[in-house]
Amino acid sequence: MKILVTGGAGFIGSNYVRYLLESTDDAVTVYDALTYAGNESTLAGLDELYAGRYRFVHANICDLGALTAALEGHDSVVHFAAESHVDRSIAGPEDFVVTNCVGTNAVLHASRTLGVSRVVHVSTDEVYGSVEEGESVETDPLDPRSPYSASKAGSDLIALSYFSTYQTPVTVTRSSNNFGPWQYPEKVIPLFATNLLDGRKVPLYGDGLNRRDWLHVRDNCAAIDLVLRKGQAGEIYNIGAGNELSNRDLTDRLLALAGAGEDMVRYVEDRLGHDRRYAVDSTKVRKLGWEPSADLDQALAATFAWYRDNRWWWEPLKGVR
């Protein structure tokens, strides 16, 4: 199969590209605009290791002409390209609406025009909004509460409308919080890990009791790939590992990995519209044959070790000198 991966230089996208190249014989084209959170260092060495199976196209997801040209001859698209940081969306929502909604429309338009056999649109559990009890299922109403999650909810609806209107074979995945290597160091786990590695305090929002389900990125990649190959067109698949932690608990685990104490925590004012809890029911994707494989504590330790051992990658991104 020949697969175009949009946003393939970002965190989840680059991990998915590595997953494909390591575990399949598929040919992969990465399509990425290389904004601040996407850079070619996340794909270092792939052109040499997988010569003939890997190609990179530097272009914007909203450029329909460039996207159509890059997509021609491909069987499938896995669409990661998105603006994804909540704090940035609060400070400046415009880029989120353009990239996430207009960009998704371009992907589906090009895919429909070229007759691509399958499109996977990668989304987030944040579109369901804060879930005080229980778990979100795929048929729950959407209740996004930040410009980021609202733009992702809009992109989900755009993608699914192409199935309803044109029968474009698109599926949607909604995953819980991912962590692992190559994650831009503004997100909580790499931010806290790299701060602690540099002897800097970690900024913990509010009372630290907001809760998230933590999913290792490799497990998410395996689930997305399964949906690509076995998922039913027009359907949504939640992906969650069942590793629910409060932010305070997560912080304590990272402090322990760093050998640091409570004095390294700096409580900061809670962000606007901070959802209290997310949790998804992943029964549907598990019925396809997926199960998370990563043990949370082992995966957190391995992730911390990765940032410890790969300063060459994250120090330039944080401006560390």
Q: Which residues pair with 6 in a beta bridge?
A: 31, 79
CA 283 to chain centre: 20
Annotation says 263 is catalytic: no
| 315 is an active site residue | no
**Residue that is written with structure tokens 């400070």 in the block:** 91
Q: For residue 144, give every residue at least 6 positions away whose Cβ sits within 8 Å of its Cβ, in sequence order, or none.
A: 126, 127, 129, 150, 152, 153
Q: For residue 30, with 0-12 CB atoms within 10 Å meaning exposed, 13-18 middle and 19 or more buried, which class applies?
A: buried
Structure tokens at 100: 């996430």
Distances (CA, A) of 146 to 30, 36, 65, 162, 275: 29, 21, 31, 25, 9
Say if residues 85 and 129 touch (Cβ distance below 8 Å): no
The backbone torsions φ and ψ at residue 204, rounded to the nearest 5 degrees and listed phi first, read -105, 120
Residue in 19, 31, 54, 125 annotated catalytic? 125
Distance from C-alpha of 4 to C-alpha of 81, rounded to nearest angstrom: 11
126 flagged as catalytic: yes
Give CA separation, 311 vs 89, 195, 198, 203, 291, in Å.
27, 12, 10, 20, 32
Place of tokens 């429909």: 112
Residue among 83, 126, 219, 225 flagged as catalytic: 126
Burial class of residue 17 (count of CB atoms within 10 Å of its CB; 0-12, 13-18, 19+): buried
Active-site residue (options: 128, 148, 162, 184): 148
The residues near 171 (Cβ < 8 Å, ≥ 6 apart) are 118, 119, 120, 121, 227, 228, 231, 232, 233, 234, 235, 236, 237
Active site residues: 125-126, 148
